[in-house]
Amino acid sequence: MEKELKLMKGNEAVAEAAIRAGADGYFGYPITPQSEILEYLMEAKPYEKTGMVVLQAESELAAINMVYGGAGCGKKVMTTSSSPGISLKQEGISYIAGAELPCLIVNVVRGGPGLGTIQPAQSDYFQATKGGGHGDYHLIVLAPASVQEMADFVDLCFELAFKYRNPAMILSDGAIGQMMEKVWLSPQKERAKTVPEWATTGKTPTRERNVITSVDLDSNAQEVFNQKLVEKYNEIREKEVRYEEFQCEDAEYLFVAYGTSARVCQKSVHLAREQGIRAGLLRPITLFPFPTKRINKLADKVKMMLSVEMSAGQMVEDVLLSVNGKVPVYHFGRMGGIIPAPDEVVESLKSKITGG
Amino acid sequence: MAQATGIKEIIKPENLVYKKTKLMTDNVLSYCPGCGHGTAHRIIAEIIDEEGLQSESIGICPVGCSVFLYNYMDIDWQEAAHGRAPAVATAIKRLMPEKFVFTYQGDGDLAAIGTAETIHSCNRGENILIVFINNGIYGMTGGQMAPTTLPGMKSSTSPYGRDVSTMGNPLKMTDIIATLPGTCYVTRQSVHTPANVRKTKKAIRKAVQYQKLNKGTCFVEIVSNCPSNWKMSPVQSNKWLEENMLPYYPLGDMKTPADQPA
């Protein structure tokens, strides 16, 4: 089976990729700018072709708890939303992380806080990478910079989620969700015929009962469990870091940017080099785990780093921790749904070079 | 010595008339003496056993006194977030339609924080069973007012009695659920007398059988007691239940499959 080339919105690509990845269930609630995902699935009727369940829930709370239920059965299940809706899902996400369930959550980020705007932003970085809900936990977070990656990361997130029994998130934004690009779609995968041994599928005489839970009132036992999670996150940090470098070989100044900002910064690298400034770009693809070691290494050869984000400065904290004082680190950001222009990023870099 | 001999005589196999249900585990129940939860658990365990559904059953426990229900019954379980059990059950049943899926929820879980999930899962007609334990109070957190607390009834957050002018009236959730076309079987039972235990068992059995017909949600309310937080002896609490709870929450079927249009 060959890949198929289509022109699609990022949101549509997520929906189509989910069907083709052999997802078992999608549970969602409408919110701009990602409603196309549920609309696409309802129109595509995958339940008639692959048997994939598609359900419009009564709320984001219900949707994420449906994901909990489906994931507890060992099924490949997912939900999608945008910032205010993802905030509503945080309780459920914490329970999913606490019960060590695999699932995919897509956040097509819009500007906040509160109801904010429906335009693209990257202001949910903290929420996505530092936990989001209550308790000590992490999601595996992937940040697509194209419609192609919106599609590709669906399958990758499911793979990582099941590998580590951990929820995975695609942290996208309204620009990538709404824009149309060509996308190579993978051939249809069959839905899994078997589920992991921990799944609740009905207790048979050959095994103990399976229980999906996140509660343990014994503090000692709870700490042992917390430690187990820490070890899992450390393993993920060790093995699953993904990033892309653009003209870093001879760079003196490094942009660090993900998603839409990274696309802007590619152009900024060209513009800077036209002006004789040797700029480069490191694009984290995984935001958790963060490419800490690589950024620390690059700090040995560049003079300065500029974290470019559509936020007030969130990822810059991870860049600072990675650099650990070796070189100055600055932030440049636009907010409120505004995407920075490549030349204003260059102007910001130039002002830091001259003025610090 | 004479007493010890007496016990030995009593527990001779030929003298035993009652035994622990097979699907109840040996774990010690966390419930207070006289609480209705143990009886309700036993009824469900008996039905699952008698209907041969152990390997087909997935239960969803609530947040509340029965949060550790999964320790007591030997089937697969999922522990839901507070109020979200019907959403969890929805996905399980949709993804595994051949399984028997049920939730077990108290009044705070089902009729306060989980009202939306309860109503919408029933409105969609999810083919699940919802068992609703109504004792008019929050048990686990120590006797706070529930949506089902009776008018004038004292609790730790209504110490002068529930004032309906500021605290609202008790929510008759089962009456609301019975109006929804998505439901198949809606009934209110109790476990405060042996006769009522038998009726409740009958109701649960019907609900289990109806789930196989895929005709919509089955909803069984069990009016129950809370001796500790009602501050009564078990016997007093069952008497109080009969005299105060049942007039407000009358027992009986509110909807059966016969009420559905063909």
> Percent of chain A scored above 70 by pLDDT?
100
Share of chain A above pLDDT 90, in %: 98
What's the rounded Cα separation, in Å, for the pair A345 and A333?
9
What is the separation of C-alpha A8 from the centre of its chain, rounded to a whole number of angstroms? 20
Q: What is the rounded CA–CA span in Å between residue A321 and residue A198?
A: 37
Give the SS3 label for residue A10: helix
Q: What share of chain B is helix, strand, coil (3-state, %, to 5)?
A: 45, 20, 35
Q: Which amino acid is at A192?
A: A
**Residues B222-235: what's their mean pLDDT?**
97
Beta bridge partners of A56: A28
pLDDT value at A181 more than 90:
yes
Domain membership of residue B143 (yes or no) is no
pLDDT of residue B1: 46
Q: Catalogue all structural domains in chain A, each as residue range(s) with its CATH number.
A: 4-191+227-239 (3.40.50.970), 243-355 (3.40.50.920)
| For residues A109-136, average pLDDT | 97
Residue A198 three-state SS = coil
**Which of A67, A203, A215 shows the shortest C-beta gap to B75?**
A203
Q: Is the pLDDT of residue A139 over 60?
A: yes
Indicate whether B54 belongs to any domain: yes
**Other CB atoms within 10 Å distance of the CB of residue A22:** 18
CB of A147 within 8 A of CB of A176? Answer: yes
The mean predicted confidence, pLDDT, of chain A is 97
* CATH classification of the domain holding B39: 3.40.50.970
Q: Cα distance from B151 to chain A (closest Cα, Å)?
A: 31
Q: What is the pLDDT of residue B3?
A: 56
pLDDT at A1: 73
Number of domains in chain B: 1
* Amino acid symbol at A206: T
What does the alpha-carbon distance between residue A310 and residue A312 come to, in Å, rounded to a whole number?
7
- The answer to whether position B11 is within a domain reads no
Chain A contact present for B213, CB below 8 A: no
Distance from C-alpha of A139 to C-alpha of A27, rounded to nearest angstrom:
19
Of the pLDDT bands very low, low, confident and very high (cuts 50, 70, 90), residue B18 is confident
Domain assignment present for residue B16? The answer is: no
Contact B78 A68 (CB under 8 A): yes
Q: Is residue B27 part of a domain?
A: no
**CA proximity to B65, closest of B193, B227, B234, B175:** B227
CA–centroid distance for B44 within its chain: 9
pLDDT, tens digit, 9 for 90 and up, residues A347-356: 999 999 998 5
Judging by DSSP bridges, how do beta strands A140-142 and A167-173 pair with one another?
parallel
Cis peptide before A113 (omega within 30 of 0): yes
Compute the mean pLDDT over every residue in chain B, rounded to the nearest whole number: 95
In a domain, B3, yes or no: no
ipTM for the assembly = 0.96
Count of all residues that appear for chain B in the document: 262
> Smallest Cα–Cα separation from B133: which of B80, B191, B51, B180?
B191
Q: What are the residues facing A25 on neighbouring strands?
A: A53, A77
The tally of CA atoms less than 13 A away on the side-chain side of residue A127 is 24
Dihedral angle over CA of B36, B37, B40, B45, nearest 10: -150
- For residue A78, which residues of chain B lie inside 8 Å, CB to CB? none
A229 conformational bin, left if phi > 0, alpha if psi -120 to 50, beta if neither: alpha
Q: Which residue of A has its CA nearest to B103?
A: A69
pLDDT higher than threshold 50 for residue A255: yes
In angstroms, the separation between the Cα of residue A65 and the nearest Cα of chain B is 5
pLDDT in tens, A62-103: 999 999 999 999 999 999 999 999 999 999 999 999 999 999
- Please state, in angstroms and rounded to a whole number, the distance separating the CA atoms of residues A193 and A200: 15
Q: How confident is the model at residue A167 (pLDDT cuts 50, 70, 90)?
A: very high
Q: How far apart are CA A303 and CA A132, in angstroms?
A: 33
Cα distance between residue A339 and residue A295, in whole Å: 24
Chain A residues with CB within 8 Å of chain B CB? 24-25, 27, 53, 55, 57-59, 61-63, 65-70, 72-73, 75, 77, 91-92, 95, 99, 200-205, 209-215
Contact list, A92 vs chain B (CB under 8 Å): 81, 84
Alpha-carbon span B40 to B129, nearest angstrom: 14
Query: Is residue B105 in some structural domain?
Result: yes
Domain span holding position B204: 33-136+167-253
Phi, psi of A31 (to 5 degrees): -160, 135
Neighbours of A46 (CB within 10 A): 24
Q: What is the per-residue pLDDT across B89-136, written as a single tens digit (0 to 9) for each?
A: 999 999 999 999 999 999 999 999 999 999 999 999 999 999 999 999
Task: Point out the residue among B60, B79, B91 whose CB comes nearest to the CB of A27.
Answer: B91
Confidence of residue B262 (pLDDT cuts 50, 70, 90): low
**pLDDT tens readout for residues B40-58:** 999 999 999 999 999 999 9
The pTM for the full model equals 0.96
pLDDT at res. B20: 87
Pick from B168, B111, B160, B143: nearest CA to B225: B143
CB contact residues (below 8 A), chain B span 107-146, against chain A: 116-117, 120
The chain B residue lying nearest A54, using CA atoms, is B94
Q: Is the peptide bond before A33 cis (omega within 30 degrees of 0)?
A: yes
**Residue B151 falls inside a structural domain:** no
